[in-house]
C-alpha cells in the first residue's frame, strides 16, 4: 500500500474542488490510499461527491474540545458529524503562523483519538534546528509530546515534513535528508510502540514534485508522499502519483 495525499491549504472554491476530486478519483490505482485535505468550506460539500473507496477526505485542523466558546474553531464532533474520518494535526504552517505548540497539538491528538478520527500528524525540524544538528532532538520532542499517553494509536499516520523544505522558495530535501528524518521518526515510533510501529505509515512531504517524487517514493523508509503545490491541479496530482508508483514498481517488480 502506498499513501498519497495533498493539503489544499487556503486555496480554491467548492466548484474547483469538486472538479479536482472527480478527476483524481477517476481510475485511481487500487494500490493507493489517497487523501485530499480541502478547506472546511469545501469539505462538507465534497462529502456528497461519489468517491472511490481508496480516496478519503480530511480536515486540515481542528480544536481539541468537543464544543465550547471557541469562536472560529471546528471540533472533532463536528468533523464526524460532517462525515469526516481523517484530520491533519501539527502542520508546520499551523505551528509557525498560528502559534500551535507541541502541547496544543497533543491535546488535539488526544481529542482526535477519543473521537475515532484517523490522525495525520505532521512533524519536521526547522532550518535552525537542522543547522544546529538538532534534527533528531526536534523530531523526538514533537512526536513524544504529541503522542504522550496514547498507548496504541489506532489510526495514526505521520508525515515527516522538514520545515525548510515546505512551500514557495524552500530548499529541496536530498535523499540523505529524507532517509535521516524518516528513520528518526520510525525509531521514535518504535521506541513508543515497539512492534506495532509497522502499522504506522510514515509519509514524506515538502516540495515533492514530478521531478523528485520517484527518488523519494523508492526509498525503503517512505510509505507514502504528502504533496502541496505540485498536486493542487488534478493533472499534477495524477502525474506525481503515477511517476511515484511506476518508480516503485520498477524498483521492486
Q: How far is the CB of 68 from ligand PGA (least distance, A)?
A: 29
Name residue 34's beta-bridge partners: 4, 55
Residues with catalytic function: 91, 161
Q: How far is the CB of 208 from ligand PGA (least distance, A)?
A: 5
- Determine which helix (DSSP H) or strand (DSSP E) holds 173, and give its type and residue range: none
Q: Given candidates 42, 60, 118, 207, which one binds ligand PGA under the rule CB under 6 A?
A: 207
Binders in 121-160 for ligand PGA, by CB under 6 A: none
90 is an interface residue for ligand PGA by CB under 6 A: no
100 is an interface residue for ligand PGA by CB under 6 A: no
Kindly indicate which of the ranges 32-40, 63-71, 139-147, 166-174 contains the residues binding ligand PGA, using the contact rule CB under 6 A. Answer: 166-174
For residue 58, give the C-alpha cell.
Answer: 480530511
Instruction: Using the minimum distance from each CB to ligand PGA, give the nearer residue, 9 or 16.
Output: 9
- Residue 220 CB partners (closer than 8 Å, separation 6+): none
The answer to whether 25 touches 246, Cβ cutoff 8 Å, is no
Q: How many residues belong to the site for ligand PGA (CB under 6 A)?
A: 14
Rg, the chain, Cα only? 17
* Cβ-proximal residue to ligand PGA, closest one: 228
Q: How far is the CB of 163 from ligand PGA (least distance, A)?
A: 9
Q: Could you give the angle at the alpha carbon of 230 between the alpha carbons of 227 and 236, nearest 5°? A: 110
58 is an interface residue for ligand PGA by CB under 6 A: no
Q: Is the dihedral of CA 5, 216, 144, 3 positive or negative?
A: positive
The answer to whether 11 touches 42, Cβ cutoff 8 Å, is no
Query: Which parts of 47-121 fold into alpha helices (H)?
Result: 76-81, 92-97, 102-114
Q: Given candidates 146, 227, 240, 241, which one binds ligand PGA under the rule CB under 6 A?
A: 227
226 is an interface residue for ligand PGA by CB under 6 A: yes
Chain center to CA of 188: 18
For residue 115, give the C-alpha cell.
Answer: 473521537
Q: How far is the CB of 31 from ligand PGA (least distance, A)?
A: 22
Q: How far is the CB of 164 from ligand PGA (least distance, A)?
A: 10
Chain center to CA of 172: 18
7 is an interface residue for ligand PGA by CB under 6 A: yes
Please report, as ranges, the residues that interact with ligand PGA according to CB under 6 A.
7, 161, 166-167, 170, 205-208, 226-230
Amino acid at each position: 500500500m502506498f499513501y498519497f495525499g495533498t493539503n489544499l491549504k487556503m486555496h480554491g472554491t467548492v466548484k474547483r474542488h469538486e472538479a479536482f476530486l472527480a478527476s483524481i478519483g477517476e481510475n485511481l490505482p487500487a494500490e493507493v490510499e489517497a487523501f485530499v485535505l480541502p478547506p472546511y468550506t469545501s469539505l462538507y460539500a465534497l462529502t456528497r461527491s461519489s468517491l472511490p473507496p481508496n480516496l478519503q477526505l480530511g480536515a486540515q485542523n481542528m480544536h481539541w474540545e468537543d464544543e465550547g466558546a471557541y469562536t472560529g474553531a471546528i471540533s472533532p464532533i463536528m468533523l464526524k458529524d460532517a462525515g469526516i474520518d481523517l484530520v491533519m494535526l501539527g502542520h508546520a504552517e499551523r505551528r509557525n503562523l498560528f502559534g500551535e505548540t507541541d502541547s496544543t497539538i497533543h491535546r488535539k491528538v488526544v481529542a482526535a483519538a477519543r473521537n475515532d478520527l484517523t490522525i495525520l500528524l505532521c512533524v519536521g525540524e526547522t532550518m535552525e534546528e537542522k543547522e544546529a544538528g538538532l534534527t533528531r532532538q526536534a523530531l523526538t520532542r514533537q512526536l513524544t509530546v504529541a503522542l504522550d499517553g496514547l498507548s496504541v494509536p489506532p489510526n495514526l499516520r505521520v508525515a515527516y515534513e522538514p520545515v525548510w523544505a515546505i512551500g514557495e522558495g524552500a530548499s529541496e530535501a536530498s535523499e540523505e535528508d529524507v532517509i535521516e528524518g524518516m528513520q528518526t521518526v520510525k525509531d521514535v515510533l518504535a521506541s513508543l510502540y515497539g512492534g506495532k510501529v509497522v502499522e504506522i505509515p510514515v509519509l514524506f512531504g515538502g516540495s515533492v514534485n514530478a521531478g523528485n517524487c520517484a527518488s523519494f517514493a523508492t526509498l525503503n523508509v517512505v510509505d507514502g508522499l504528502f504533496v502541496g503545490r505540485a498536486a493542487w491541479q488534478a493533472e499534477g496530482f495524477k502525474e506525481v502519483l503515477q511517476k511515484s508508483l511506476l518508480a516503485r514498481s520498477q524498483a521492486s517488480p
